[in-house]
A and B are shown apart, each in its own frame.
Chain A
Amino acid sequence: MFLNQFLFFAAILFSIGVYGVLTRKNGVLVLMSIELILNAVNINLVAFGALHQDISGQVFVLFVIAVAAAEVGVGLAIVLLIFRNRRSINVAEADLLKG
């Protein structure tokens, strides 16, 4: 396979993720969109690692997976906290802070 196939696939995944973060109103779906972006990065890293015949790209992916798990853990906890207080995880309703 060609390198650019991986890069295009990753770029499309990345764009879908950014679109999701910007348009989704449900807090959990926003978190999932961020996961999409991180997975796009993982595809890039593995593809480049294969290109350079270098292990550090794949090692990096393992770190990214671990960090993504930690991030989602914290994110879901915050979403849960908001849901307890407001009975809603709609991002658009989070409008207490403005000036």
Chain B
Amino acid sequence: MMSLFAQVPVSTPEIQWFYLAPILILALGGVLLITLTSVAPVMRGRHISALFTVATGVLALAFLPFIAARLDGLVDPVAGQGGRPAVDLVSSALVVDHFTLWVSGLISVAVILVAVMLDGYLEREGFESPEWYALLLISASGGVILASAEDLIVTFLGLEILSIAVYVLAALHLRRSESQEAGFKYFILGALSSAIFLYGIAMVYGATGSTTLTGVAGSMTGRNAAGLSPAVDSSLVMVGIALMLIGFGFKVSAFPLHIWTPDVYQGSPTPIVGFMTSAVKVAAFGGMMRVFLVGFGGTFASDWRVLVLFMAGFTILFGSFLAIVQTNIKRTMAFSSIAHAGFMLVGLYAAASPVAIGDTGKRAVLFYLLAYTFMSIGTFAVISIVGKKGDGNHSIEAYRGLAKREPLLAMAFTVLLFGQVGAPFTAGFFAKFRVIAAAAQVERTEAYILAGVAMLGAAVGAYLYLRVVVAMFLDVQESPSTEMADSADETLALVEVRALEVPPATLAVVLLAAVVTLVLGIFPDIGSGALAEAALALVR
């Protein structure tokens, strides 16, 4: 009874809440949103959920410069991070460094832009409800956890928080059977790939006796409890690395784990596809870079970089060539996103090289992620508008004459598509140029071949984007509308007649994305300081 009232001090672990702010804001924002909308009817009004989500994203974004400033002000950077400013949090489960901040920033931007276009989409489809936004925020918090995880347990948790919310989002268009099918396919294959990923973690843990990335990297030189040296008796580690590569390869949709992408992108609600191509891809690449470059960067880099080399080459080729035969714009863009993932893998291949080139490679991947986040969100915002009510108007034919009907939208879309082609004066040009240049700097025969394959893929890929651009600037009257002729479906005809409704907020997202694409293409060195810091934070 005494002890109940006696004020005895207990030692509690110190948690530096300030550095955790982005994760906490995003996760609590999602929980708070779903709570408030259940409790207070006022919160269920139009646009309020979207505004709340945007505010949460902006708040998370606003914390990043302050965290960066405090990181730079650290007197004694954590040992083992090569002297780069980094803070280990929650007993080394998470690490906050400039790399974490870069990825968090991209994810927050993606959340803000997707929330804005989701608002117009849900209003058109008549689905306005807060759970879309709550899942978006929770998924984003998982992405930040994945990219900042320093322990493989936390990596897995981040991956699952990121993924499970997106499985639900993919299936959430209740009136479209395609959406549920997409959600189901995404769920089955995603769960399978995370289970395989987990098997890989178990193998690495078995070989090294540690689940932290620094522990895994450090134990490669010593011997474990069974008297084996992981670096010498490497079969377990190699199996583990290969299985984990499968898990990450699935999330970034790399060959041969790209098969799900076109189906899922075609069926899922269009703004959610924008989220998958931006935030999910950024987070998956962030986690992949941290695990592979920090955890397996030292002893085994020369083993897994060969796998990444083949994955990158085939991903680019498959993505570019298979996109040509598609007639559905969402499938086309799915293959294009596969090809983009291939380019980023080229950068990862270069990043696994010795230090100086490695930093070029890391910078190239991080810049590519920045450019692709804006380009893909803008692209899917346009597709979301053109999709019309029901989200089904996605044949490339639907873009015929768009330049005449919606000149502004068509102009912005043209910029975004040219950006994805990699045309000069767009962000896409520098993104592709930098990964290919980084690969060429490796100065090995296979690296030159990879760079050549990447250039071939970029050239072939140009066709698929230009096809859409040409369709937009063709006149409607020039060809008798084929889909009207061969489909007796009256509802389709009705959809055709209905004019395009362009929500101003979604249009603003498209224009912003187009402007950023152009600005980054003309001044590619904007933010290069932060980019360099982020790349240097991943020390091998």
Chain A interface (Cβ within 8 Å of chain B)? 3, 14, 17-18, 21, 27, 30-31, 34, 37-38, 40-41, 44-45, 47-48, 51-54, 56-57, 59-60, 63-64, 67, 70-71, 74-75, 77-79, 81-82, 85-86, 91, 94, 96-99
- Asked if A59 and B195 sit within 8 Å, CB to CB, the answer is no
Q: How far is the CB of A26 from chain B (nearest CB, A)?
A: 12
- The interface residues of chain A lying within 8 Å CB-to-CB of B206 are 44, 47-48, 51-52
Per the bound structure, the CA–CA distance linking A60 and B201 in Å amounts to 10
Pair B183/A78 contact, Cβ less than 8 Å: yes
Which 5 A-B residue pairings sit nearest by Cβ, starting from the closest? A48-B206, A44-B202, A37-B195, A52-B209, A97-B263
User: Judging by beta carbons under 8 Å apart, are A51 and B225 in contact?
Assistant: yes
Q: How far is the CB of B334 from chain A (nearest CB, A)?
A: 9
B93 shortest CB reach to chain A, Å: 11
Other contacts beyond A47-B206, A64-B198: 9, CB < 8 A: A67-B160, A70-B160, A71-B160, A71-B164, A75-B191, A91-B184, A97-B266, A98-B263, A99-B328
The answer on a CB contact under 8 Å between B180 and A78 is yes
Which of B11-19, B22-30, B167-175, B382-390 forms part of the interface with chain A? Answer: B167-175
| Sampled A-B contacts (8; CB under 8 Å) | A21-B192, A45-B205, A57-B211, A67-B156, A70-B164, A78-B187, A81-B183, A85-B177
Q: Is B370 an interface residue (CB 8 A)?
A: no
Say whether B198 contacts A94, CB under 8 Å. Answer: no
Q: Are A97 and B182 in contact (CB under 8 A)?
A: yes
Find A60's partner among B160, B205, B225 (CB 8 Å cutoff): B205
A97-B171 CB under 8 A given contacts A37-B192, A78-B180, A79-B184: no
Residues of A near B196 (CB, < 8 A) are 37
Q: How far is the CA of A75 from the CA of B174 in the complex (A)?
A: 16
Question: Are B199 and A78 in contact, CB atoms less than 8 angstroms apart?
Answer: no
Least CB distance from A43 to B in Å reads: 9
B202 close to A41 (CB less than 8 A)? yes
A86 to B156, CA, bound (A): 34
A34 to B191, CA, bound (A): 7
> Is B528's beta carbon under 8 Å from chain A?
no
Are the C-beta atoms of B180 and A81 separated by less than 8 Å?
yes
Residues of B within 8 A of A63 (CB): 153, 156-157
Instruction: Confirm or deny: B331 has a beta carbon within 8 angstroms of a beta carbon on chain A.
Output: yes
Bound complex: CA A46 to CA B327 (Å): 50
Contact A41 B195 (CB under 8 A): yes
> Which of A27, A44, A60 touches B203 (beta carbons < 8 Å)?
A44
- Residues of B123-177 whose CB lies within 8 A of A: 153, 156-157, 160, 164, 167-168, 171, 174, 177
Question: Shortest distance in angstroms between B184's beta carbon and chain A's nearest beta carbon?
Answer: 5
In the complex, the answer to whether B177 meets A34 with C-beta atoms within 8 Å is no
Chain A proximity of B218: nearest CB distance (Å)? 14
B188 at the A interface (CB under 8 A): yes
In the bound assembly, the distance between CA atoms of A52 and B266 in angstroms comes to 47
Q: Is the pair A86, B177 in contact by a Cβ cutoff of 8 Å?
A: yes
A94, B192: Cβ atoms under 8 Å? no
Say if the beta carbon of B40 comes within 8 Å of chain A. no
Nearest Cβ on chain A to B78's Cβ, whole angstroms: 21
Given contacts A48-B205, A59-B153, A81-B174, contact A18 B192 (CB under 8 A): yes
Residue in A closest to B182 when the chains form the complex, CB atoms: A97
Q: A52 to B225, Cβ gap below 8 A?
A: yes
Assembly CA distance A44 to B205 (angstroms): 9
Q: A17, A30, A86, A91: which contacts B195 (Cβ < 8 A)?
A: A17
- With A and B bound together, what is the CA distance between A82 and B185 in angstroms? 11
Distance, CA A63 to CA B328, complexed state (A) = 40
Q: Nearest chain-A residue to B268 (Cβ)? A: A97
Most buried by A among B183, B327, B328: B183
Would you call B326 an interface residue if the criterion is a C-beta within 8 Å of the partner chain's C-beta atoms? yes
Q: Knowing A44-B203, A44-B206, A51-B225 touch, does A85 contact B153 (C-beta < 8 A)?
A: no
Contact B267 A96 (CB under 8 A): yes
Tell me the smallest distance from the CB of B254 to a CB of chain A, in Å.
19
User: Closest A-chain residue to B175, C-beta based?
Assistant: A85
Instruction: Tell me how far the C-beta of A75 lies from the nearest C-beta in chain B, rounded to whole angstroms.
Output: 6
User: Is B391 part of the binding interface, using a Cβ–Cβ cutoff of 8 Å?
Assistant: no
Chain B: CB-nearest residue to A97 = B263
Bound-state CA distance A53–B226 (Å) is 10
**Provided the pairs A14-B199, A17-B195, A71-B160 are in contact, do residues A96 and B225 lie with their beta carbons within 8 angstroms?**
no
B178 at the interface (CB under 8 A from A): yes
A54–B184 contact, CB under 8 A?
no
A84 to B177, CA, bound (A): 10
Please give the distance in Å from B118's CB to the nearest CB on chain A: 20
237-258 of chain B: CB within 8 A of chain A: none
In the complex, B181 has a CB within 8 A of chain A: yes
Known: A34-B192, A96-B267. A54 touches B167 (CB 8 A): no
Once the chains are docked, how many angstroms separate the CA of A55 from the CA of B199? 18
What's the Cα separation between A64 and B199 when bound, in Å? Answer: 11
How far is it, in angstroms, between the C-alpha of A38 and the C-alpha of B194 when the chains are bound?
9
With both chains docked as a complex, state the minimum distance between the C-beta of B115 and any C-beta of chain A, in angstroms: 22
Residue B262, interface by CB 8 Å: yes
Which A residue sits closest to B335, measured CB to CB? A99
Q: Would you call A97 and B203 a contact (CB within 8 A)?
A: no
Determine the residue in chain A with the shortest Cβ distance to B326: A99
Q: Which residues from B are CB-within-8-Å of A91?
A: 184, 188
Whether the Cβ atoms of A56 and B211 lie closer than 8 Å is yes
